[in-house]
Amino acid sequence: MKAMGNRSSIRWMPLFLTLAGLGQVAAEPFEPGNVLISTENSVHEYTPNGTWVRTLPIPYPTGTRPVTESARDALVDANGNLQIYNGTFDPYLSRYDVAAQSWTHWTFTGWSTANNVSYGGIASHGHSIFVTDMSTYGQGDIPKGLVRFDLLTGGAQRFADTIDFIDVTLGLDGLLYGLAGDERSVYVYDPSTLTQVRALSLPFGSYIRGIAVSTAGEIYGASWNDTIHRFSATGVQLGVIPSGAYDLVDIDISPLYEQVVVGSRFGTIVFTNLALTYPWSINVGGSTAFATFVPPDNQGHDDNNLLVSSGNTLTE
């Protein structure tokens, strides 16, 4: 990191910090199907019906968190551990090992994102974690694209390095989807080989900040214009509803109950279904909130508890 010297290679640092947390004990596994919400530098866990389970504070590995370095999107990986896009200009991939109740942090040369509250996506496939990367023009931060961290080797590599990405998701169809900074261009990759499969454009003026993809390859979008969208695999709009929340930033799909969860700029979490009917919401504060479902056991990205990442805290 700039504050700590050269970012010319991957660095990791274990932080053996036992967190009592609030609510359910921190060592208990995240419940498949629950929702994790990352907001205000904590993660909160909720059940699919909106009942709070527990809260875990998200540390910044160098100590005091700089005001620009907010925790962003989050997920539970194939090992049941929490992974967080932790920062902005000097981000870390931060992993919370549930069994050990400890944090480990990695970074990578040139990795950063623009200081926009809706940017900073993360996805999981097997032992790989993918994060978005943007040119931010700070020292060493010109590179862009997607970065893959290998959880087995600790290595990382950048690909698709001609594009500024603001979100990335592993579709329930098994493909990796990256959303570009123009808020409408979507690039699709094989998550194992990193080969581009196709590219498509969403309708102009949709202002999509977050995407999720169903088993059928349909793309669901969270719009900064407060609406939730459903697109075909080729980008044709199939449906849209008002969310009742302001400035949507993130979206995820549960593979178990066909439930959709959407995060927003001011802490409102919206739930709906794949048909985009019967939306309802809860509020987790007044700050930007990212949301994801806890996947089924031994799957890289599925199930139904909700994790909400907001203001440097992750909530399930």
In this prediction, residue 241 carries a pLDDT of: 99
In this prediction, residue 2 carries a pLDDT of: 35
Rounded percentage of the chain residues whose pLDDT exceeds 90:
81
Q: What is the mean pLDDT of residues 23-33?
A: 80
Kindly tell me if the per-residue pLDDT of 20 is higher than 50. no
In this prediction, residue 138 carries a pLDDT of: 80
Tens digits of residue pLDDT in 140-187 = 889 999 999 999 999 999 999 999 999 999 999 999 999 999 999 999
Kindly tell me if the per-residue pLDDT of 18 is higher than 70. no
pTM: 0.89
CA-to-CA distance for 268 and 251, rounded, in angstroms? 12
For the chain, the average pLDDT equals: 90
For the chain, report the end-to-end CA distance as a whole number of angstroms: 30
In which band, very low, low, confident or very high, does the pLDDT at 139 lie, cut at 50, 70 and 90? confident
Q: 283 by DSSP, 3-state: which?
A: strand
Tens digits of residue pLDDT in 220-233 = 999 999 999 999 99
The alpha-carbon radius of gyration of the chain (Å, integer) is 17
Kindly tell me if the per-residue pLDDT of 65 is higher than 80. yes
Answer yes or no: are the C-beta atoms of 262 and 279 closer than 8 Å: no
Q: What are the residues facing 208 on neighbouring strands? A: 223
CA-to-CA distance for 178 and 188, rounded, in angstroms? 6
Q: What angle do CA 93, 253, 98 make, to 5 degrees?
A: 40
Backbone angles phi, psi at 2, to 5 degrees: -65, -35
Q: Which residue has the higher pLDDT, 110 or 1?
A: 110
266: which 2 tokens? 């001011």
In the chain, domain spans:
2-315
In which band, very low, low, confident or very high, does the pLDDT at 309 lie, cut at 50, 70 and 90? low
Q: What is the CATH number of domain 2-315?
A: 2.120.10.30
In which band, very low, low, confident or very high, does the pLDDT at 27 lie, cut at 50, 70 and 90? confident
In this prediction, residue 140 carries a pLDDT of: 82
In this prediction, residue 134 carries a pLDDT of: 98
In which band, very low, low, confident or very high, does the pLDDT at 257 lie, cut at 50, 70 and 90? confident
Instruction: Tell me the H-state helices in the chain.
Output: none
Q: Among 12-16, 54-58, 196-200, 288-292, where is mean pLDDT lowest?
A: 12-16
| Nearest Cα to Cα of residue 125 among 188, 62, 192, 71 | 192
Rounded percentage of the chain residues whose pLDDT exceeds 70:
86
Backbone angles phi, psi at 102, to 5 degrees: -140, 155
In this prediction, residue 308 carries a pLDDT of: 56
